[in-house]
Amino acid sequence: MTSPVRIAQLSCGPEYSGVQSEIEEAARAVDAEVFFPDLKLSDIRSSFEAFGLDVRSSDLKLAIARAKALVEGTVEADAVFIATCFRCAEAAIVRNELRRYIHENSDLPVVSYSFTERTTSGTLLTRMEALTTIARRRTLLAREHQEGLTMGVDSGSSTTKAVVMQNDRIIGTGWVPTTEVIASADEAIQHAISEAGIQREDLNAVGTTGYGRYLVGKRIGADLIQEELTVNSKGAVYLAGAQHGPSTVIDIGGMDNKAISVSNGIPGSFTMGGICAGASGRFLEMTAKRLGVDITELGPLAMAGLSRKVPMNSYCIVFGTQSLVNALATGSSREDVAAAACHSVAEQVFEQQLQEVDIKEPVIMVGGTSLIQGLVYAMGQLLKTEMVVPPHSQFIGAVGSALLSSGYIKGR
Amino acid sequence: MAKVFIYPATSLILSDLVARFDHTPLGTALGIRERIQTPGLESPPLQITPDDPKRGLKYAAVEVPSGVRGRMAVYGPLIEDAEAAIVVHDADFAFGCMGCARTNELVKFMIRQRSIPTLDLNYPRTEGEGEEFVAAIHQFLASLGGRL
Amino acid sequence: MADYEPEYRGSVTKYVFVESPDMTPGDLAIRAYEIAGGVMIKETCFGIQVTGSESEVEDLVSRIRSFDPTHIFVKDRGFPPGDPRRCRANLGGARPGFFGHEFEMGIIRHISRGLLRLPSRDPGIEPHPPTPDHTGRLDSARLKAIIAAKEP
């Protein structure tokens, strides 16, 4: 029995929004505990003044002083959770600055979140789990090579992916739309192992990730069940050959998006989800359907168009579709509409999420949407950098899972 | 005896002086006690549930952060019930229930809106100021009537 | 969310704090225990907490106040004593309200002084408490004059 991971909570408002117990429940579910770093009033005053961000709310002053105590090491913790009310500008400034301050001045993994009274422990679970993974599995996350014969399965919200690897080579893949979670996983696994030309029993170790990781992991007797934030960032830097130094990983998924600041293969700070469907892969699927093309054709179509010719910038999938329909009805070309849809998704992610992580090159784009050329181009334009899309980027979670699970091969 | 809303609502000094001079202090403890002693759904630590920010819609619109609305669900009814108020303005280090500046601005505004007798002052920094502070509160409370 | 069934329903809890050259929080607790008569008392950082029915608590608190009226201070508390939701041991640190107490206990000697002097104060003298500063800005004409005066 390991001792619980100690997560320091820096917050303003959860007790008054009725969600403090949800935060604690999410932590308990991953064998962690949240605590409030202890200070003296005199420390609060001096730390707040020394930090220099002159906010009015005293609970934010307290959060600043607690962050300083963590960075200076007067209070020990394994990870940091920063939470403030959604729509509070004062708190958003503090949240962002504290996240950056802790990330730059300590090794503590940190995640920030803005909650409403509707926030539940389920929403927070993957984030809390990632914090505990980083705290508990640093050695595993430091693994740079895949060894032996292993398989990773990524049970995602839209698609299920499986990858079989042998000594740093991908020898089999499977990719199916997610319908029934276990059936989809079985099918993807079947594809991967038959392509690899092996039997299920030949595998030395197996790992799962994604939304269905627990269900699938239990079903196939996985050696490693791990959330997608750490697994995907590991897979991304591995495939992109960027395991050393800083990098940024962006994964625009079917249901939520991840933006992760990575240092030497280990996530330092990250954001996940949080925006409406207009900023998701789902919107691009709808666009492709409306334009009468397969999703694989949307990227090249977009590359032939000009996004600025069509006004489209909504984070709501309904309003986004409305813009799309209007544009087509007023004679815009399919190419321009495709380009505008890609730009719109990239812009929402850029405005709503990428402000919460520090963008450091290389910026690696992964997940199924990274195959949509037009989206990668639009994101590169917004970030003013050349995006890196590694080979097999659509299998990122499965590759990360296969890589990390090789740490569980017995006798190695 | 008058019901006197105190600001900061967590103040020991104000709560003590109001009660000492035979009036009823209305502060955070009363709102929290009511929640702590009412059966319902478990929501530690303060028994402020996700329903409180919804009740707070009476005082602040939905685009106002949930923490403000949850706090207003505690303070709003107390201010509505108050017959007078004492406001200490330089309460820069009152935390927790008084830890949100936006809520505090709204609380002070609501007190003004009620047009009830209100005493505005700052915390004393010297013994001399302490003497004037206590005397002012004593005089204010005496003006509200009751036995002094 | 699980169902919540409160303990100590209908009870009242009050903090009784002391800041006195003649009485420590420990002394206060010992003297309070002597006269408690079954009312629950629990020691805390700056004094004690008293829990019972409203009338029991009011009665006990007024008797405790009489030990040292100008140095003993009383405040309502929302939680019953030792509640795990507010306990330092469970939170890993002080609850936020503690810092507010720490701040006010740092200046409470000024209040004691005010209480001590109150009976001898001439009721005809208008109090002048510290008030929020509303000092106006420097008048522009005055600023001009200052600048002009500094010019060689």
Task: Inform me whether the pLDDT recorded for A408 exceeds 70.
Answer: yes
C-alpha to C-alpha distance for A135 and A133, rounded to whole angstroms: 5
CB contacts, 8 Å: C73 with chain B: 12-13, 16
Task: Inform me whether the pLDDT recorded for C89 exceeds 70.
Answer: no
Residue B121: partners with Cβ closer than 8 Å, 6 or more residues away: B86, B87, B88, B89, B133, B136, B137, C129, C130, C131, C132
A377 in a domain, yes or no? Answer: yes
C-alpha to C-alpha distance for A160 and A229, rounded to whole angstroms: 16
Same domain, A66 and A109: yes
Query: What pLDDT is attached to residue C1?
Result: 75
- Chain B residue nearest residue C106, CA to CA: B125
Q: What is the CATH number of the domain that holds A17?
A: 3.40.50.11900
C-alpha to C-alpha distance for C9 and C7, rounded to whole angstroms: 6
Same domain, A257 and A370: yes
Same domain, A359 and A272: yes
**C117 in contact with chain B, both atoms CB, cutoff 8 A:** yes
Query: What pLDDT is attached to residue A11?
Result: 97
- Reading the block at residue A122, the tokens are 């389920």
Residue A375: partners with Cβ closer than 8 Å, 6 or more residues away: A252, A284, A299, A302, A342, A345, A346, A369
Nearest CA to B116 out of B23, B53, B11 is that of B23
Same domain, A210 and A77: no
Task: Inform me whether the pLDDT recorded for A247 exceeds 60.
Answer: yes
Minimal C-alpha gap between B84 and chain A (Å): 25
B66 and A115 within 8 Å at the Cβ level: the answer is: yes
- Domains of chain C: which residue ranges? 12-119
What digits encode the pLDDT tens for the residues B69-124?
Answer: 999 999 999 999 999 999 999 998 889 899 999 999 999 999 999 999 999 999 99
C102 and A40 within 8 Å at the Cβ level: the answer is: yes
Count how many Cα atoms sit within 13 Å of the Cα of residue A319 in the half-sphere of its side chain: 12
CB contacts, 8 Å: A16 with chain B: 46, 48, 52-53, 66-68, 70-71, 74, 97, 100
CB pairs under 8 A between B and C: 175
Nearest CA to A252 out of A344, A136, A164 is that of A344
What digits encode the pLDDT tens for the residues A48-65?
Answer: 999 999 999 999 999 999
Task: Inform me whether the pLDDT recorded for B147 exceeds 50.
Answer: no
**B81 in contact with chain C, both atoms CB, cutoff 8 A:** no
Query: What pLDDT is attached to residue A169?
Result: 96
A56 in a domain, yes or no? Answer: yes
What digits encode the pLDDT tens for the residues B9-31?
Answer: 999 999 999 999 999 999 999 99
Task: Inform me whether the pLDDT recorded for C60 exceeds 70.
Answer: yes
Same domain, A345 and A290: yes
C-alpha to C-alpha distance for A341 and A229, rounded to whole angstroms: 26
Is the CB of residue C110 less than 8 Å from the CB of residue B137?
Answer: no
DSSP conformation class of A250: E
Residues 73-112 of C with CB under 8 A from B: 73-80, 83, 85-86, 95-97, 99-101, 103-105, 107-112
C-alpha to C-alpha distance for A153 and A209, rounded to whole angstroms: 6
C-alpha to C-alpha distance for B109 and B107, rounded to whole angstroms: 5
Of A16, A21, A62, the CB nearest to B95: A62
pLDDT band, residue A412 (cuts 50/70/90): low
B12 and C130 within 8 Å at the Cβ level: the answer is: no
- List domains and CATH numbers for chain B: 3-143 (3.40.50)
SS (H, E, C) A83-98: EEECCCHHHHHHHHHH
Chains linked to B by 3 or more Cβ pairs within 8 Å: A, C
Show the DSSP H helices in chain B as ranges: 12-20, 28-36, 51-55, 66-81, 101-114, 127-143
Q: Are strands A149-155 and A79-85 parallel, antiparallel or unpaired?
A: unpaired
Terminal alpha carbon distance of chain C = 76
Q: Report the percentage of chain A scoring pLDDT > 90.
A: 77
Q: Which helix (H) or strand (E) holds A190?
A: helix A181-196
Minimal C-alpha gap between A48 and chain C (Å): 14
Same domain, A187 and A256: no
Cα-Cα-Cα-Cα torsion A269, A275, A280, A283, nearest 10 degrees, comes to -170
What digits encode the pLDDT tens for the residues C24-38?
Answer: 999 999 999 999 988
Same domain, A66 and A115: yes
Task: Inform me whether the pLDDT recorded for C91 exceeds 80.
Answer: no
Minimal C-alpha gap between A238 and chain B (Å): 41
Chains linked to A by 3 or more Cβ pairs within 8 Å: B, C
Residues 85-144 of B with CB under 8 A from C: 89-90, 93-99, 120-127, 129-139
A235 in a domain, yes or no? Answer: no
Of B12, B37, B135, the CB nearest to C104: B12
Query: What pLDDT is attached to residue B148?
Result: 46
Q: Which domain holds residue A385?
A: 243-389
Same domain, A270 and A363: yes
Nearest CA to B41 out of A12, A21, A34 is that of A21
Minimal C-alpha gap between C76 and chain A (Å): 20
Domain final residue, candidates A136, A159, A177 = A136
Counted domains in chain A: 3
Residue B83 class from Cβ within 10 Å (0-12 exposed, 13-18 middle, 19+ buried)?
A: middle
Count how many Cα atoms sit within 13 Å of the Cα of residue C43 in the half-sphere of its side chain: 10
A180 in a domain, yes or no? Answer: yes
Of C97, C128, C132, the CB nearest to B89: C132
Domain range C12-119, CATH class: alpha beta
Nearest CA to A295 out of A186, A157, A158, A153 is that of A158
What digits encode the pLDDT tens for the residues A131-142?
Answer: 999 999 988 999
Of C92, C99, C103, the CB nearest to A35: C92
Three-point CA angle A356, A362, A368, nearest 5° = 75
Maximum C-alpha span of chain C: 82
DSSP conformation class of B82: -
